[in-house]
Chain A
Amino acid sequence: MISEKVVKAVEEQIRMFQGLAPEEPQVTLKEYRDYLKSTEGRSVELDPSEYIRKQRLRSEFY
Chain B
Amino acid sequence: MRLVLDSDVLVHALRRPKSKELHTLHEKAVRLFESCIERYNELFLPTVIPIEVGTVLSKILPEDLAIEGIEKLLRITKEVYPYTDDATLNSVYSISSHIYFERLLDNSLKLSRITKEGTDSWVPGWQAKREVMIGGMDIFVLTYAELKAAVLITNDWALWYVAWKRGLSCYWLSGLKDEQVSELASAHKIEYPVQ
Question: Which residues does A use to contact B, with CB under 8 Å?
Answer: 10, 13-14, 17-18, 20-21, 24-29, 31-32, 35-49, 51-53, 55-57, 60-62
Size bracket of the B interface: 35 or more
Residues on the B chain within 8 Å of A39, using CB: 14-16, 61, 65, 69
CB-based nearest A residue for B25: A49
Shortest beta-carbon distance from B60 to chain A in Å:
4
Q: Does B19 contact A (CB under 8 A)?
A: yes
Do A51 and B56 touch (CB < 8 A)?
yes
Task: Report how far A56 CA is from B48 CA in the complex, Å.
Answer: 11
Shortest beta-carbon distance from B179 to chain A in Å:
21
Partner of B8, one of A17, A29, A48: A48
Could you list some 13 contacts between A and B, CB below 8 A?
Answer: A20-B87, A21-B89, A24-B74, A27-B37, A35-B72, A36-B14, A39-B14, A39-B15, A39-B61, A43-B60, A44-B59, A56-B136, A60-B135
Question: Which residues does B use to contact A, with CB under 8 Å?
Answer: 7-8, 11-12, 14-19, 22, 25, 30, 33-34, 37-38, 48, 51-52, 55-56, 59-62, 65, 68-69, 72, 74-76, 86-89, 91-92, 133-138, 155-156, 158, 174
Residues on the A chain within 8 Å of B8, using CB: 48-49, 51-53
Do A29 and B34 touch (CB < 8 A)?
yes
Task: Report how far A46 CA is from B18 CA in the complex, Å.
Answer: 10
Which one of B8, B19, B38, B74 has the greatest number of beta carbons of chain A within 10 Å? B8
A56-B134, A56-B135 are known contacts; what are 16 more A-B pairs with Cβ within 8 Å? Answer: A14-B88, A29-B37, A32-B37, A35-B72, A36-B30, A39-B69, A43-B65, A44-B60, A46-B60, A48-B7, A48-B8, A48-B12, A51-B56, A55-B137, A61-B52, A61-B137
Partner of A21, one of B60, B87, B137: B87
Do A14 and B92 touch (CB < 8 A)?
yes
Shortest beta-carbon distance from A51 to chain B in Å:
7
Do A45 and B155 touch (CB < 8 A)?
no
Do B62 and A42 touch (CB < 8 A)?
yes
Take A20-B87, A24-B74, A39-B14 as given contacts and tell me if A48 and B56 are in contact as well, using a CB distance cutoff of 8 Å: yes
Q: Return the 10 tightest CB-CB contacts between A and B, nearest first.
A: A48-B11, A17-B88, A56-B135, A49-B8, A49-B155, A48-B8, A44-B60, A39-B15, A43-B15, A56-B137
